[in-house]
Structure 1
Amino acid sequence: MANSKLDSLDFKILKMLSLNARKPYLEIARSCNVSGAAIHQRIQKLYSMGVINGSITLINPSAVGYDTCAYIGFFLNDPSKFNEVVDRLKAIPEVVECYFTTGKYDMFVKLYAQNNDHLLSVIHDKFLKMGLGRSETLITFKEVFKRQIPINEVAED
């Protein structure tokens, strides 16, 4: 369900920022035919509403020595320990994403390792000590594409 407090200007701003988070506010202002101050205020409003959570620099993992990307589904021995397991996973720098899921797994994580030996080390030396039930690991060959969600203005009823 779309946030009813967003108007067409908000959606234009979000679309531009989703394509380039470093786009200058004045450039956005010119494209939207409003002042730079208005864009600055709108973006601050989008942050305070929680619509924008931040902006990041995307680093190519292979360029800094992390050639193996893996997804691991965990089966927890005790699902009530989810928060404890999450806290322990946060302490493992190779884990970059973590999800509580429905279906086959209790949890699903994405991690990067320098190579398959490093991945095995993370699994054996870090995950096994967490008291998890069992896990299933999927190693990716190559990221084909990655993108933001589509930003389209939602028609009001």
Structure 2
Amino acid sequence: MANQKLDRLDKQILKLISEDARIPFLEVARACNVSGAAIHQRIQKLTNMGILKGSQFVIDPEKVGYETCAFIGLNLKNPESFDEVVEKLKGMPEVVECHYTTGNYDLFIKVYALNNHHLLTFVHDKLQPLGLARSESLISFHSPIDRPLPIVDMINADEEDL
């Protein structure tokens, strides 16, 4: 995928809204020394380019009862069933990420479960019927780094670097 051409203003806007998605556009405009209309236009441009993919509130899974976070590597018996398996994974609320990967797994997923028993039941009752040759689960004890893409470095980067 080709890199999109971003100027300094685009990068400033991305930095500000990545730090606080609820920042008012007029505050972004003041920080960037441009009009509010210019910010609206730039946000629309960044959205149309596919760089911005909406905004959302981030819910702390543990605070709403999901005590177990796990990463699960999946090996499919039939690798041709990728699309079918991914569609089924999309219907499982426990699955919050799914990646096609190189290496030891066909797919790598991130899952939240209420507890270890819920995770065991999820793997046994929901994942195994997908036609897995095998799976490997890694439980995360804690995530000391969890952040969006750091836009800070992009502002000072040369256009050719992006």
Are positions 1:3 and 2:8 aligned together? no
**Secondary structure of residue in 1 paired with 2:159:** coil
Structure 1, unaligned runs of 5 or more: none
The residue identity in structure 2 corresponding to 1:33 is: N
Deviation above 6 Å: which 4+ runs of structure 1?
none
Residue in 2 aligned with 1:19?
19
Task: Find the aligned partners of 2:46 and 2:89 in 1 and give their Cα distance.
Answer: 30
CA distance in 2: counterparts of 1:69 and 1:110, whole angstroms: 7
Task: Tell me the residue number matched to 1:156.
Answer: 159
Q: Under a length normalisation based on structure 1, what TM-score does the superposition of the two structures give?
A: 0.96
| Matched residue, 1:123 | 123
Please list, as runs of the form range in 1=range in 2, the aligned pairs for 1:67-146 lying within 5 A after superposition.
67-146=67-146
Question: TM-score if structure 2 supplies the norm length?
Answer: 0.93
Letter in 2 for 1:61: P
Counterpart for residue 44 of structure 1: 44
* Cα distance in 1 for residues equivalent to 2:140 and 2:159: 41
RMSD: 1.1
Secondary structure class of the residue paired with 1:52:
coil
**Alignment partners' CA distance in 2, 1:10 and 1:142:** 34
Q: Which runs of 5+ in 2 are unaligned?
A: none
Per the TM alignment, residue 127 of structure 1 is displaced from its structure 2 partner at its CA by 0.5
**What is the rounded CA distance, in whole Å, between the counterparts of 2:44 and 2:158 in structure 1?**
24
Distance 2:101 2:120 in 1: 24
Q: Partners of 1:143 and 1:43 in 2: how far apart? A: 31
Q: How many residues align?
A: 156
Shift of 1:156: 3.0
